[in-house]
Structure 1
Amino acid sequence: MHSLKDAELIHTVALPAAAATATTDPFNLIQKPPHECHFEVELALPALPSLADTKKATVTLEDSEDGITFATIAALASMEVTGAGGVGSAAAIRKVRLPSDVRQYIRAKVVVEAAGGNNTDKSLTMALVF
């Protein structure tokens, strides 16, 4: 299990308003596929006390060949948290190893459902972990 982080390999983005999307700045993996990744990508969401009951915040990893046009990495499942009990959602952390055919640039995208509450004071963190 990887646990070392470099401060320059951590990107954060404030969560969007309800019914909106936000993305981290992309990481340039330098090389084009196929390649071996000797690291994992860690996605971390703090507790979201304002996430409305039954509403979701969904995080996906995307890749790109040119750093401009991104698409979801289909081999990786999304990370979802759901508001419940009037107290929002608990914090969530997920580490994934990238598939060998991932393209040169990666970023994280977070979407908050319509009427999901105001979570804009919280941030998604994406880190490369060695």
Structure 2
Amino acid sequence: MKSTVVIIFFISLLLVIVNFSASADVRLPRIFGDHMVLQRGIKLPVWGWAEAGEKLTLTLKGKDLNVNAEVTANGSGQWKIDLPALKAGGPYVMTITGNDSVIFNNVMAGEVWLCSGQSNMEVPVGLMN
């Protein structure tokens, strides 16, 4: 009986520890990821979540670029960094570091276009009058 109680206690303790460590991870929305294209020429917000009060450092590095920015997560764990306007280029590596790190590879800066339509989207521009 005592051994069952001890086993249950240690399993419960392990679950609590795993839960606390998982909640402190640096997280970003799914809009950010490998192979992303950042709009050039405008200030660009990068945001996410971390442990409340956690200090974070964002670096964006490449052959022709080295951007560093720091922020502290607020009481709810939210944080936001505004990247300066970037020139078209890349590839870059974006790293967000706090108690752990998130790394995005092959990040480019350039024009981001959103196109929508129906069958007219299939017509090559050269065929238009």
State TM-score, norm by structure 1: 0.37
- Which protein is richer in strand relative to its size? 1
State TM-score, norm by structure 2: 0.37
Structure with bigger RCO (C-alpha 8 Å, 6+ apart): 1
Work out which of the two has the higher radius of gyration on C-alpha atoms and give 1 or 2: 2
